[in-house]
Structure 1
Amino acid sequence: MGGGVVIMSSNPVIRFVLENKKVPMWASIVLHVISLNILNSYFLMSLSVFLLHPEWTDKAVQKTLPIIGYLAPFSFYTTPNELSYIAGVIAMAWVWGTWLFGTRVKVTNETVRRRAISFLVTWISFCLIIILYSMRQILDIGYEKVVAYHYTIDVQYQAMMHIGALQMVGYLLMILPIGVMISFSSWLYGQYKEDKRIQEWFRTYKYESSWIGRFGESDVNELPDIQLARNAETNAPVILEGEARQTGTMLIGPPGSGKTSIKIKTAYRTDLGHLQRTINAYPRYVKKFGYGTPEFQKAMANHLIGSIIIEPAKDLCDDAYELAIEHDIPKELIVYLDPSNKNTPGFNMMIGPTAEVVETITAVLESIAETKDEFFKQAARAVLKHYVYLLKFVKGDNCTILDLDDLYQDPRKAMDLLEELESKIPSKDTIDSLDQDGRIHWIIVQKVVRWFRNEGLSVQSDREGMVEKYPAGHEHAHKPKVIDLQFEFTRQTRNLLSDITKNPYLARILYAENGVDLTKLFTKGGILLVNTDLANLKALSAIFGKLVLLCVQNAVFRRPGTEKTRSLISLYADEFYDYMNEAFLQLTSQGRKFKFAPLVACQSLTQFGVKFGDRFTESMLGTIRNTIVYGGTSVYDTELLSKYLGTEIVEELQIRESYTPTYMDSPSFSVSESIALKEKEIATSDDIMFQEFRYSYIRMVDEKSPKKAIRAVGDFVDPSNAKKWKKALDKRATELFLKYWREEDESNVVVMESDDEETPIDKLRKELASIDQAQDEIRNIEKEVSAEEVGKVNRFKPFTQEEGKPAPDRSKYFMASTNEEAAVTVEDAQSVQTEQPVKVDVRPVEPIKVEAAPSAPTPPPVVESPFHAPKVEEKVQQATMSFSAAFGTAGKEKINQVIAPKKEQPKQEQSFTNSFSTNNEDKNALPLAESDSIPIREEEAGQLKEVELDNNALSFFNDLKKNVHQDK
């Protein structure tokens, strides 16, 4: 039962026994209770022999020794004369096994005092077993022989050899084993008090063996663990715990040492088993806690949801893909970026938050630039950042690195984007009315525009000052020519972008449709395999790998949630030197908080020293806290790592010889020996360099504390277990997990099929889903509306703050060009009203006057309310818009469920629920109350629909009340 069985067992009973925290605790308690029973039994049997009654039964002991012999019938007490030696061997093995197991269980090894109590139970039992069998032998061959000697002498001499004296001698012989064990125990305690090594050993010792695996450990798979190897001495599994994985792992070994085939593949295969467990656990957690609840998130946080592999060759990614298929992982969850594959999915590194994309692209291109001059370096960096800002502000996530290359190659395109961005900047009053983030956004936009106008671009003119234009037939015919004012500082960046975009293999990744959603990978899970294809890309392989790695790093730092609610993501990077950047150390130092577990491999630490310096290498070893070293590394590495792996205290025998020459008067020769304690490296430079294949030294963090290195031997992945791997994944759980994974809107997630009655929350989620679908349909209609028919619309006017009124809610604020997208009018909203509940997203428009239909039904009598006057004129009632036209049936139900309960609160004495009247009767309209009517003018309907009765609803309806009075 090795460590792999403990981690990957698919049998629920075995997994419960091996991984349940309470099972080892209760097992240890039971073992110690039985050991105490053994202690009591051998104490009573030893006392019986000492009292010269080895024939006593348990009943006789209970009767003769009423206090200490009370438990004799309920213990393992056996008549001492009938006790076999096999029973003693079994009892001795039991008590020592109890102590060894106790060193693995937290309840008995957490403190030195608990360890001491467990050890004393074992040691006293061991001593009593030795004493019992010793006294029984002495009683047979010593005491009785001595006493019988009294009857073998003549009667006249018997007075001289009194029987009492002989009995005393016999008792002294029987006491001898007790004295020996007490003396030996005292000597052991003295050694413990004097020797710090023994104290440290006693405090930290934990029994390890291959047959026991990880059973007894209280933190098995508390977070996803991986088995790195087996201990070369004990054959026990060497486990890197899930929490320790997040501190980073460095794998050092030359080509052919086995670091990829033995360590990376083995760890990745273990993670596939953890991913299977995540999928299987998803429906159970949803049913137990409810989807999206804090308890659900905390339960999922103990699992691994995905892995990322980056390597310069194809072998590892191909094997990783096959392993995922053998584990029955759905192909939909796997993305394989492979420039050598014509059908590879694409990767757009321009997708993501603007600021992070800017820093990613800038950091990558800056790291591969050869410019040493700081002035040109900073100038190129500034230009690059402004070009990326320009692209992101105008095109959002719809831009690619190809667009960036176009801006460098064609300044006219940059000017077109700049003019488009300028046209979107709202007025100063509008910007001032926005919240802080909105104002900051437009301030940055203005700064970017100002930079391009002052330092970036300029319109070209001739000697006479006339603007030059592109000739007819040109791509930009009749447009003014533009020059790049930063041309001299951007030459190297232009060349790099040109190399990246023109490589035919890399173009397969850059031109293809984006298939990598890092946000989904880090929130819902998946597998990303990246082959940087050194064979075809050559120098661009490292550039491509850096782009991917930096995008991954940024995605890590923008992960939502907390350390307690994020699930684990693992990263494996082979030949990591090619992709290394200085910001990676920040990722490893903060990875634990973001539940990110990197394992990176390199051939030698010398590579990092050449590129980043020796100080960086030392800092890297201090930040990446787990280290695995294979044989064959450089002398620089072995000497540095020899100290890094730790030292130990060893005993060294010193022999001294002294002699006197024979020509002296008294020739002599003497030899003396002494033992000295000496501190020595666990692994010397030679030990590390000349290791056998599959062997390595591993230094890692265990239980949050760094441990000294151990020597371990690794194993290859056994593909014969493929059928067993597939069976570990539950098909039904996979279907439910895929539904959740595919759904963009989490309110539409179908998490379980249950016969239970549908809850109000489930009903509301379904209604919101149908509303969102209708909203998408209306937006499609909106795009089809010609801008000429709608005209220019001021989207910002309804959201500006008027003097003396509270600021309107901008939670639904939408910033877009006023002449690019059309707004849906009230008539459009009414025309798309269907039987299905609809949520109409009406953009703010200029007031539209709608005449009331002559056949409008008579509204119900109006009840006095704080929101409107007691009575309303008929002409105002006719202009009232129906509630169903504004919100739809589902919207009214939403209001009834969400807003209506608030009227029961003490702070809100008024009720504003209402059945709105309409010019055309709406049969599907559901009144919010049996009476109350709020007349609403058409120009206010758009604002009402946009606000959707949010936190500012009360202030909004108060404004409506004033408007009604004015109309009256």
Structure 2
Amino acid sequence: MLYAGIVFCMAVTGVILMFQTTFIPAPLFPLGIGGILVILFYAWKWWKKMHNPKASRLLMLTMTLWLVMALGSLAYQYWQWEQMVSKAFMMRLAIVFFGMAGIYANIMYIRAEKAYRQKRGNQRITENPEKGYKTYKKHFKQSKRKNSDELVTVLGHSIEQDNLPIVWKGKDMFTHMLVVGATRSGKTASVLEPMIYQLLLQKKQGKNLGLSVVEPKGEFAEKVKDFCDEMAIPYIYVDPTSPHTQKFNPMEGNVEDVVEGTVIVLRGLFGKQDAFFANVQELAARNVTRLLKELKGDDTDLMEVLETLRDFTLLQQRTNELRMQQGETDLIHSIDNELLGSMAEKYRQFVIGLRAQLENITSNELLKNIMTGKSDVDVDAHFANDGVLIVNTALGTLKKAGDAFGQFLIMHLQNGTFRRPGTEDTRSPHFMFIDEYKRYINPQVEIFLSLAASYKVSGILASQSLGQWKWKQATSAPVP
């Protein structure tokens, strides 16, 4: 930087001397001197393996001044109409004109360079795992302490210093991250995929971490699946459009979490409606879901919820079965007096909307295939064993039903976060990547974002704009 500053001062001095007509060199003299000095600078830079963008920009401005001196000298030497304007005046005019033009060009170049590097600074992940491993291993050495088990993720590189990686590590990983970018802006390929790739590489190296990836289109999930295949990392892959999909039954798990999760997801599907009908439908969904969970445990699914709501005779039969097992409980009393009481026929009409929403989900053969039967996803085991879960909710194929499927899954992951045993110091890190998160947002997200860090779970959420979150906030019902 000192050398560039000295050369710049020499150029400025030369321009001033020419402007005062104290020293007027031959046109080739400033070009030759400037060229030699620049060559010496870059030779020294190459030898020392230095990178200093500020010095390079200053040298570029210096070369502009040397060029201005040469143009001014040309104007002085070849001007032939002195009876109109003197050679000295034309030289000064050339220096001012070309000097301003050169400075403007330098400013535009610097602005364009910054804009380009901001947009493309995060290079897309290489398709060659071995090559990518070597590249990121180099970055890890630059950015972390030796002999450290700390997880390190390179988000990109400094705009000012190419050799300075911007890293995401330590406690910063658990303040959560929101990635905002319009469609086709590269947020998935330039941010999410490289982050996941690096985390998987470190998992391959033996570091303890878990990963959950939920997205609505399929390409992202497929890419993460390929990463795991190439690194021989076991995973659970749920994709309604794939013949090789594994299953996720939202009715498996802790009773309270299943009941609340089902009610919240169905409430979101109802949209805005009269408070009375909303309360009736929530009561029906809550009671029937709890009835089946207490009666059959994990051996139930949404199809049975729909069947029980559709057939009140079946509801009566299952209520009696639970009565035989547990006696007169608050749940049985509530069902007898509300759903099966004197207003039973009215309730049957009131829950038509609830049945319609459940039918939209369960009538889809693709969803029915993965949401019924024994689930491959045990959320508690997934967190405890540092598992990798990859889910495509297939928005293009399933439409709104795919969003509901994703919401069921997100609710289970959120609730599972708070059941992690141990302390903040003993739990292993878990990273939850959710693309197009606004499609799955629920009223309990505030609790998750507030407390998840204490359970060593980090949320990396992607959205097209902040406006989508405002819209979702306005249309989400409060937690009861």
Give the TM-score taking structure 1 as reference length.
0.34
Q: Distance in 2 between matches of 1:212 and 1:312?
A: 31
Give the 5 Å matches for 1:32-431: 215=142, 218=145, 222-235=149-162, 236-278=164-206, 303-329=207-233, 333-425=234-326
Give the 5 Å matches for 1:490-501: 490-501=351-362
| Aligned-residue offset at 1:519 | 1.3
| Aligned-residue offset at 1:455 | 1.2
Given residue 547 of structure 1, which amino acid in structure 2 is its aligned partner? F
Given residue 356 of structure 1, which amino acid in structure 2 is its aligned partner? D
Change (3 A) 1:260 1:485: same
Q: Does structure 1 conserve the Cα–Cα contact (< 8 Å) formed by 2:174 and 2:453?
A: yes
Question: What is the aligned partner in structure 1 of residue 42 from structure 2?
Answer: none
- Residues 680-733 of structure 1, C-alpha deviations (whole Å, 9 max, x = no match): xxxxxxxxxxxxxxxxxxxxxxxxxxxxxxxxxxxxxxxxxxxxxxxxxxxxxx
Question: What is the aligned partner in structure 2 of residue 523 from structure 1?
Answer: 384
Q: Distance in 1 between matches of 2:225 and 2:331?
A: 44
Q: Distance in 2 between matches of 1:515 and 1:387?
A: 24
Provide the secondary structure at the position in 2 that maps to 1:250. Answer: strand
| Aligned-residue offset at 1:585 | 2.2
- Residues 318-343 of structure 1, C-alpha deviations (whole Å, 9 max, x = no match): 111111111121xxx31111111234
| Aligned-residue offset at 1:274 | 2.4
Q: Does structure 2 conserve the Cα–Cα contact (< 8 Å) formed by 1:336 and 1:344?
A: yes
Q: Distance in 2 between matches of 1:221 and 1:363?
A: 42
Change (3 A) 1:502 1:220: farther
Q: Distance in 1 between matches of 2:147 and 2:192?
A: 21
- Residues 647-701 of structure 1, C-alpha deviations (whole Å, 9 max, x = no match): xxxxxxxxxxxxxxxxxxxxxxxxxxxxxxxxxxxxxxxxxxxxxxxxxxxxxxx
Q: Distance in 2 between matches of 1:459 and 1:576?
A: 43
Change (3 A) 1:487 1:242: farther
Q: Distance in 2 between matches of 1:327 and 1:211?
A: 19
| Aligned-residue offset at 1:277 | 3.1
Question: What is the aligned partner in structure 2 of residue 23 from structure 1?
Answer: none
Provide the secondary structure at the position in 2 that maps to 1:519. Answer: helix
Change (3 A) 1:220 1:384: farther
Change (3 A) 1:611 1:216: closer
Q: Distance in 1 between matches of 2:165 and 2:239?
A: 35
| Aligned-residue offset at 1:450 | 0.4
Q: Does structure 2 conserve the Cα–Cα contact (< 8 Å) formed by 1:247 and 1:591?
A: no
Question: What is the aligned partner in structure 1 of residue 452 from structure 2?
Answer: 591
* Identity over aligned pairs, percent: 26
- Residues 582-627 of structure 1, C-alpha deviations (whole Å, 9 max, x = no match): 311221111111110111111111111223149x9xxxxxxxxxxx
Change (3 A) 1:556 1:230: same
Q: Does structure 2 conserve the Cα–Cα contact (< 8 Å) formed by 1:214 and 1:220?
A: no
| Aligned-residue offset at 1:484 | 5.1
Matched residue count: 340
Q: Distance in 1 between matches of 2:272 and 2:235?
A: 39
- Residues 349-403 of structure 1, C-alpha deviations (whole Å, 9 max, x = no match): 1111111111110111112212332222122112211111101110011111111
| Aligned-residue offset at 1:221 | 5.6
Moved over 4 A (4+): 210-222
Change (3 A) 1:328 1:310: same
Q: Distance in 2 between matches of 1:252 and 1:496?
A: 31
Change (3 A) 1:459 1:221: farther
Bigger Rg, structure 1 or 2: 1
Structure 1 counterpart of 2:442, from 581, 597, 610: 581
Change (3 A) 1:382 1:404: same
Q: Distance in 2 between matches of 1:587 and 1:576?
A: 14
| Aligned-residue offset at 1:504 | 1.7
RMSD, aligned α-carbons:
2.5
Q: Does structure 2 conserve the Cα–Cα contact (< 8 Å) formed by 1:305 and 1:567?
A: yes
Question: What is the aligned partner in structure 1 of residue 473 from structure 2?
Answer: 612
Q: Does structure 1 conserve the Cα–Cα contact (< 8 Å) formed by 2:437 and 2:461?
A: yes
- Residues 143-183 of structure 1, C-alpha deviations (whole Å, 9 max, x = no match): xxxxxxxxxxxxxxxxxxxxxxxxxxxxxxxxxxxxxxxxx
Q: Does structure 2 conserve the Cα–Cα contact (< 8 Å) formed by 1:575 and 1:603?
A: yes
Question: What is the aligned partner in structure 2 of residue 539 from structure 1?
Answer: 400
Change (3 A) 1:259 1:250: same
Question: What is the aligned partner in structure 1 of residue 333 from structure 2?
Answer: 450
Q: Does structure 2 conserve the Cα–Cα contact (< 8 Å) formed by 1:221 and 1:241?
A: no
| Aligned-residue offset at 1:459 | 8.8
Question: What is the aligned partner in structure 1 of residue 10 from structure 2?
Answer: none
Change (3 A) 1:243 1:484: farther
Given residue 212 of structure 2, which amino acid in structure 1 is its aligned partner? I
Provide the secondary structure at the position in 1 that maps to 2:455. Answer: coil
| Aligned-residue offset at 1:249 | 0.3
Q: Does structure 1 conserve the Cα–Cα contact (< 8 Å) formed by 2:179 and 2:460?
A: yes
Higher relative CO (Cα under 8 Å, sequence separation at least 6) belongs to 2
Q: Distance in 2 between matches of 1:271 and 1:522?
A: 16
- Residues 927-953 of structure 1, C-alpha deviations (whole Å, 9 max, x = no match): xxxxxxxxxxxxxxxxxxxxxxxxxxx
Unaligned runs of 5+ residues in structure 1 are 1-92, 94-209, 279-302, 427-444, 461-482, 617-968
Provide the secondary structure at the position in 2 that maps to 1:486. Answer: helix
- Residues 397-453 of structure 1, C-alpha deviations (whole Å, 9 max, x = no match): 111111111111111221111111111126xxxxxxxxxxxxxxxxxx700010111
Provide the secondary structure at the position in 1 that maps to 2:154. Answer: strand
Change (3 A) 1:220 1:247: farther
Q: Does structure 1 conserve the Cα–Cα contact (< 8 Å) formed by 2:449 and 2:459?
A: yes
Unaligned runs of 5+ residues in structure 2 are 1-47, 49-136
Given residue 469 of structure 2, which amino acid in structure 1 is its aligned partner? F
Change (3 A) 1:229 1:219: same
Given residue 159 of structure 2, which amino acid in structure 1 is its aligned partner? A
Q: Distance in 1 between matches of 2:139 and 2:455?
A: 33
| Aligned-residue offset at 1:219 | 9.2
| Aligned-residue offset at 1:242 | 3.5
Change (3 A) 1:403 1:229: same
Q: Distance in 1 between matches of 2:246 and 2:144?
A: 43
Q: Distance in 2 between matches of 1:240 and 1:335?
A: 26
Given residue 565 of structure 1, which amino acid in structure 2 is its aligned partner? T
Change (3 A) 1:412 1:604: same
Q: Distance in 2 between matches of 1:425 and 1:508?
A: 33
Provide the secondary structure at the position in 1 that maps to 2:454. Answer: coil
| Aligned-residue offset at 1:305 | 2.9
| Aligned-residue offset at 1:224 | 2.2
| Aligned-residue offset at 1:488 | 3.0
Q: Distance in 2 between matches of 1:352 and 1:374?
A: 30
Change (3 A) 1:574 1:383: same
Q: Does structure 2 conserve the Cα–Cα contact (< 8 Å) formed by 1:247 and 1:589?
A: no
Q: Distance in 1 between matches of 2:334 and 2:175?
A: 42
Provide the secondary structure at the position in 1 that maps to 2:391. Answer: strand
Q: Does structure 2 conserve the Cα–Cα contact (< 8 Å) formed by 1:222 and 1:242?
A: no
Change (3 A) 1:251 1:276: same
